[in-house]
Structure 1
Amino acid sequence: MNVTQNKIDDLNTIVKITIKPEDYKPNVEKSLNDYRKKLNMPGFRKGKAPMSIVKKQYEGAVTFEEINKVLNDTLSNFISENKLSILGQPLPRTNNELDPNAQDMTFEFELGLAPDLSIDLSKAKIPYYKIEATDKEIDDTVLRMQTQLGEVTDADKIEEGGNFVGEVLEIDAEGNQVEEGINTTITFLVDDLKDKNSFLGRKKGDIVTIQAQDLFNDVHQLQHFFGLSHEDAHHYNANLKINVEKTSIRTKAELNQELFDKVYGKDKVKSEEELKAKIKDEIENYYKKESDTKFMNDSVEWLLDTIKFDLPTEFLKKFIKSKAKEPMSDEDAATEYEKSVKALRYQLIEGQILSDNKISVQYNDLVEYTKNQMKQQFAMYGYVDIPDAELDKYVANAMKNEEHVRQSSGNLIQQELLKIFDAKIQKKEKTVTLEKFDAILKKESEEMKTEK
């Protein structure tokens, strides 16, 4: 066997493999013997059919299979031993011909190579928008605490300043429940509602149909109650059906030590000033995720705009065409390439950054991440002391789910990238209100639509 490489340029190479009968014939004979042992052929006992008949029926297919195994193993080992970083998969050239009677057979494979990248994150200057809680947000939160912890009195109908429990279902245009749509139960404060008049006077059993964007004064309530992302909360406008289940009035609880202790534990907060400071920190920590997400997105765009490199374009188009389930024209392959090239570029950039910083996600990392996620989920329902043995069972089941492992691995990589970006990119911190932050996002979104 002989393997050679003909490097066309830095991004394309051809690997030529020449094999002889002795490279695959022994495996052909072994496979045919195995076939014979298992073969049930009329007129012969199991495993006793003459080898001449076995060869006549199976030798061609077995030879083809064994030659392919030799080629695949040889090519894989060559790529590994020569540390070739390839894109896609090797493509056999059309002049490859299989002739089992030949003394030598030569096969050629085209390889697309990944470019060498050099990335200096310290050159990036990216704004970081620190979202500051406003006095109104803090005061509204205090008022909500007082209302939620106040004395509850049942009411016959929804009244000003009152609250009600409602089942919320996402429905389609015909009024049918949307499968996997919003399906939850919420305690609504009337003062939080954008369209109070649609609810005031309603009684238990009444149904209100409303669009999501018309539900709350603050659209971020959609994010909180429905588990939406910040961006999705601003665009989510499904039809919702709200079934009133219970109506009540709450008198406001006094702002005193009893309230502080109920919310944060005994003596953790001792004054109104400490309460508001605590609420301010909580709100800003909640918003930090939005700030981090924008910082990540802006950093990625900087990388894509700044880190320029060539790709083996023609090879990749051929690769896309070869993997298509249906026959694909050159024009369609070129279109698919243009759709995917941005994601491929970032994949290469991301991989280089992780490699430069010696970051990899190991199985134990995924287990620990899953365990922490499970603890948080249980805590949401009031279970804070789950025994380790029981928790380990839940984690073990989750780790059997390939989709969970894939998503968890992606989330861990994003966490590591954020740490790297935070440490190495020049952050230009700007303090803004949530309203200003939303305005920035909206403007950028409109600019992107205009560019498209």
Structure 2
Amino acid sequence: MEITRENSGEMTATVKIAISPAEYTENVNKVLKDYQRKANVPGFRPGHVPFGMIKKMYGSAVFADEVNKLVSDALHNYIAEEKLDILGQPLPNMELTPLFDWKDEKEITFFFDLGLSPQFDMTLDDSIAIDYHVIKVNEELLDKYMVDIRQRYGTMSATEVAGEKDVLDGEFVELDTEGNILENGIANKSKLMIDTVKDEEIRKSLVGAKQGDVISYNPAKASGNASETASLLGITRDRAENLESDFRFTIQEITTMVPAELNEEFYNKVFPDEGITELKDFRERIRIESEKAFTADSDHLFMHHAQEKLLELAPMQLPDAFMKRWLVESNDGKIKAEDLEKDYDKYAASMKWQLIENRLIKDFNIEVPDDEIKDYVKDRYLPGWRTMPLTDDLSSRLETLANSFLETRHDEVRRIIDGLFETRISALIKSKVKLHEIEISYEDFVKLDAEKH
């Protein structure tokens, strides 16, 4: 086998692979003989079909498969041995590759185009300043959080008239098209939280209701969610998806959430063993926790700024013509050439950032251990498991679930791994550059973040 490479541009090259009959004939004949042993052709005993007939029936397909394997492996090994840093994948050059007939058993030549990765300088230190927006919780937002947490720690109490956030206990009975109770229809006692009703008109009809009131409406329309409808009516999700009936809802009890009182007992429930006795100290503690919760949002926007800054500091040129061709050919018609022209700058920026990420991963030895991937999957099945006293049985089941996930859901696993790498890269950049901290209200942060997306 002869493999040569010739530069076709500043950042592109063409690889020529020439294979002789001796390199592919043996494998082709071996596969065809295996077909001969297994072939079941009318008029011949199994295993006795003439080889010439087998070759005529399957030779073209077998030849194509075996030669493709041989060429693919050779190209892959060549790129690895030559330590070529390429973009995307090699593309067949059909203009240079001559037509051939598999029956001729002569030397075959293939040509492949490569896009070569650009070389660029990369520094990451405190000489680089990047904006980092610190979200501050103002008094108005803090008041909202205080209402929410008092509701969360409140107690349920019976009330006479339903408010917007109250819970209605009652019985649902399915109706026919004329508004009468449907024989053998759905009937179920359930709790309805008014603020979960998506349909505004139906929600307004429930506010102000009293015990004993009867309200007819379509639960599927009200929720707009098949799973919520199924839970409310005690039916399967599949049945809920096709449900069109109205239901008669008879209200049997109304309960409302009475917010927790602002006292030391409440403060201690929320923040045990911290000895908070004053409202002002409690509010400040809530403010601190709320601002911590916004760190992920700040980090997300920070990475947008970091991408812009590092791309600016590490200019690089891509082999644009090759990249456009690769994007079109590798996406099975999902990307059209005319659409790509409009959006190419975005694709190019994404590719350049990926090159910077790969450089950071290599230069700083960033790794994601297998155990961490598995632990992340376990978090999805049982949040908080790390701090739980797990039994041997539960631990074993969790391990089995995680292993099954990793073995069968490859696309999701790839996304998890990418996310874990991104988290590490974000932490690395934050630790190396100078953070230009800017205090900002949550409202202004939302506006700023929207501008970046």
TM-score of the aligned structures, taking structure 1 as reference length: 0.73
Residues 1:408 and 2:416 are matched in the alignment: yes
The answer to whether 1:271 aligns with 2:277 is yes
Note the alpha carbon deviations across 1:60-96, whole angstroms, 9 max, x for none. 4333332222211111110111111222222222231
Judge conservation of contact 1:199–1:208 (CA < 8 Å) in 2.
no
Q: Is the 8 A contact 1:130 1:432 kept in 2?
A: yes
- The secondary structure found in structure 1 opposite 2:208 is coil
Q: In the superposition, relative to structure 1, how do residues 197 and 26 fare at CA in structure 2: closer, same or farther (>3 Å)?
A: closer
- 1:146 CA displacement: 4.5
Alignment partner, residue 443 of structure 2: 435
The partner residue of 2:269 within 238, 262, 270 is: 262
For residue 45 of structure 1, what is the amino acid of its counterpart?
R
Q: CA 1:398–1:186 in structure 2 vs 1: closer, same or farther (change >3 Å)? A: farther
Is the 8 Å Cα contact of residues 12 and 312 (structure 1) preserved in structure 2? yes
Distance 1:105 1:128, change over 3 A: same
Alignment of 1:185-200 (within 5 A): none
SS at match of 2:309: helix
Q: Given residue 53 of structure 2, which amino acid in structure 1 is its aligned partner?
A: I
Question: What does the per-residue CA deviation read over 1:89-110, in whole Å, with 9 as the maximum and x for residues that have no partner?
Answer: 2222223122443643332211
1:129 aligned onto 2:106 = no
Q: Write out aligned runs for 1:155-194 (5 A).
A: 155-158=159-162, 163-165=165-167
Residues in 2 aligned to 1:244 and 1:115: alpha-carbon distance in whole angstroms: 70
Q: Does 1:154 align with 2:155?
A: no
**Shift in alpha-carbon separation, 1:207–1:281, aligned structure 2, 3 A:** farther
2:66 partner letter: E
Please give the per-residue CA displacement for 1:120-142, whole angstroms capped at 9, x wherever unaligned.
Answer: 23343211111223344445544
Q: How many residues align?
A: 384
Determine helix, strand or coil for the equivalent of 1:14. Answer: strand
Q: 2-side partners of 1:332 and 1:440: how far apart?
A: 28
Separation (CA, whole Å) in 1 of partners of 2:41 and 2:152:
81
Deviation of the 1:326 alpha carbon: 5.2
Q: Deviations over 1:416-435 (max 9, x none)?
A: 11111111122111223323
The aligned residue for residue 109 of structure 1 is 112
- Displacement of 1:23 in angstroms is 1.0
Summarize the Cα distance change of 1:344–1:202 in structure 2 as closer, same or farther, 3 Å threshold.
farther
- For the Cα contact (< 8 Å) 2:168–2:255, is it kept in 1? no
Q: After superposition, what is the alpha-carbon deviation per residue over 1:395-423, rounded to whole angstroms, capped at 9, x for unaligned?
A: 23433323431331122122111111111
SS in 1 for 2:438: strand
Match of 2:319 in 1: 312
> Are 1:54 and 2:54 an aligned pair?
yes
Superposed CA offset, 1:205-253 (max 9, x none): 76999xxxxxxxxxxxxxxxxxxxxxxxxxxxxxxxxx99864456554
Separation in structure 2 between the aligned mates of residue 440 and residue 326 of structure 1, nearest angstrom: 36
Q: 1:350 aligns with which of 346, 351, 357?
A: 357
Partner of 1:71, secondary structure, is helix
Counterpart position of 1:293: 300
Question: Hey, what does 2:233 align to over in structure 1?
Answer: none
Structure 2: gaps spanning 5 or more residues: 170-190, 197-202, 219-248
Indicate yes or no: 2:94 matched with 1:87: no
Query: Under a length normalisation based on structure 2, what TM-score does the superposition of the two structures give?
Result: 0.73
Partner residue, 2:45: 45
Contact 2:165 2:193 survives alignment (8 Å):
no
Opposite residue 106 of structure 1, the aligned amino acid is: T
Shift of residue 34, structure 1, vs aligned partner: 0.8
In 2, Cα distance between equivalents of 1:327 and 1:431: 43
Corresponding residue for residue 218 of structure 1: none
How many Å separate the matches in 1 of 2:379 and 2:434?
Answer: 31
1:332 Cα deviation after fit:
5.5
For residues 368 and 210 of structure 2, the distance between their equivalents in structure 1, rounded to whole angstroms, comes to 54
Asked whether the 8 Å contact 2:17–2:111 carries over to 1, the reply is: yes
State the Cα deviation string for residues 314-345 of structure 1 (Å, max 9, x = none). Answer: 22233234346459986456456455323222
Task: Check conservation: 2:25, 2:105, Cα contact below 8 A.
Answer: no
